[in-house]
Amino acid sequence: MVQAGELRERVTILSLVENPDGTGWDWQEGKTTWAKVEQTGKRSLFSTVGVSRPEWRVTMRHQPLTLFQALRWRGHFLFLAELTHPDRGHIELSAVQAEPVQCTVQRTKVEKNALNNPTLSTERVLSFPACLTEKYSGFQQGDTHDTLTHTLVAICPKAVTLRAGEVVTIGNDRYRVQIEYQLSEYKNEYEITREVDT
């Protein structure tokens, strides 16, 4: 049983909110509450194909909270992985510290030009947060040059859906979506890659 004096840390509950103009999503701060935050010494598999991260346990008084949300603690983003009820008055969360990065994806549509030929046009650019983790780095021997393939796993809120072949921009880097993994009913997971000439 958690004692009230153990809830000494301030955590802020974050909720994913769609931008009013339909250009994407972002995390929005909500209620701040007291909690007990401790590292468990375990590693959490918050990604099915990516590298695991150290696990944190967050205990707070019972309140409306789901795995669609996240927490901000001491300036760190805590990605929620599991929610349990240890007793009637409290909830316990398993989380990993994984700071999200802002990503964009350009959605295109097929239109007909003046000659009635199909052409691609930009429908809209969507912005969304994703937590990234390493998968692996591969090395391919080419005929005229060598290529380094950088592969990441992007873990996104469930509202964010990407399609294989789409290009995701993160900072100045462009990644192509390769594979979609159904991580859980709360989150989506995508393997993204970019090639760098060496």
CA 183 to chain centre: 11
pLDDT of residue 176: 94
Q: Give per-residue pLDDT as tens, 13-60.
A: 999 999 998 889 999 999 999 999 999 888 776 766 666 788 899 999
Q: Is 166 exposed, middle or buried (0-12, 13-18, 19+ CB in 10 A)?
A: middle
Q: Give per-residue pLDDT as tens, 77-107.
A: 999 989 999 888 999 999 999 899 999 998 7
d(Cα 187, Cα 95) in Å, to the nearest integer? 14
**For 173-196, b where at least 16 C-beta lie within 10 A, e where not — what string?**
eebebeeeeebeeebbbbbbbbee
Q: Tokens 């701040």 identify what position?
A: 32
Contact (Cβ atoms closer than 8 angstroms) between residue 153 and residue 197: no
Contact (Cβ atoms closer than 8 angstroms) between residue 130 and residue 150: no
